[in-house]
Amino acid sequence: MSVQEKLQELYLLDQQIRGLRSRVDAASRRQNAQRGKLDQLQRQEAELHEQLLTAKASAANLTTDAAAVEERIEKIRQVMTNVRSNKEYSALLVEVNTLKLHKTKIEDQELEHLSRVEDLQARTDEVAGKTAEQSKLVELAQKEVDSASAEIADQLGDLEKQRDEAAEPLEPDVLTLYRRLFDDYDGEALGEVEEQDRRRMEYTCGACFMSLPIQVVNAALTSKDKPVTCANCGRILYVSSQLKEALVPK
């Protein structure tokens, strides 16, 4: 078996492994997308909750302030019942009226904060509901990942064992080249020699579709120990068994 044939065997096994893993990868991408939406909702819910706590605290402080002003007004009124001077009474009355205006402003602010509390509570509850629903979708997506992983586990294990056995006879430098191309081209490490016109000896690389000199095609057909690569894309070239039978008479 030539090095091209060994590499083709390894390549086919890698393609089968990629096909199986793609199911799990697709399920994982869906799960990650759902997880991303959940994270966003959880951050939004946390921010709203923090704003709600702040608004409630501000409203509570204003309630306390209004009560303190009211208490001050009552004390002044008690003092007013015992004063004997019109001047002193008038001064106390002015102070009471000023405090009443201040209390009104505080109560108006309190109402604004309470309205904000009500709005934030409604928004928080709404986002919390969405978060709960999204959590269910994340759980379902995770189950899909687990199911897909379980379905392919045995078959994937067998193929990986075959892939490792197919890689053993290859020289380290050849295997290194193959792995580099595999990583660089997202698994498409090999390019099939495609015949365009036999009479004119026109052939192309099936990976990059660029023309191949007939000398390169002959090398891919006859080389036993060294991989032959495309001068354009660098992929390892191989000839299908059908084309090989047509080009190399028995």
Interval 134-189: pLDDT, tens: 999 999 999 999 988 888 888 888 999 999 999 999 999 999 999 999 999 999 99
Please state whether beta strands 211-212 and 202-205 pair in parallel, antiparallel, or not at all (unpaired).
antiparallel
Within 10 Å of residue 92's Cβ, how many Cβ atoms? Answer: 16
Rounded Cα distance, 218 and 119, in Å: 77
Rounded Cα distance, 39 and 113, in Å: 29
Residue 123 has pLDDT above 70, yes or no: yes
Check residue 23 and give its pLDDT.
85
Check residue 248 and give its pLDDT.
75
C-alpha distances (whole Å) from 142 to each of 19, 32, 44 are 20, 9, 23
Q: Are residues 31 and 142 in contact, defined by beta-carbon separation less than 8 angstroms? A: yes
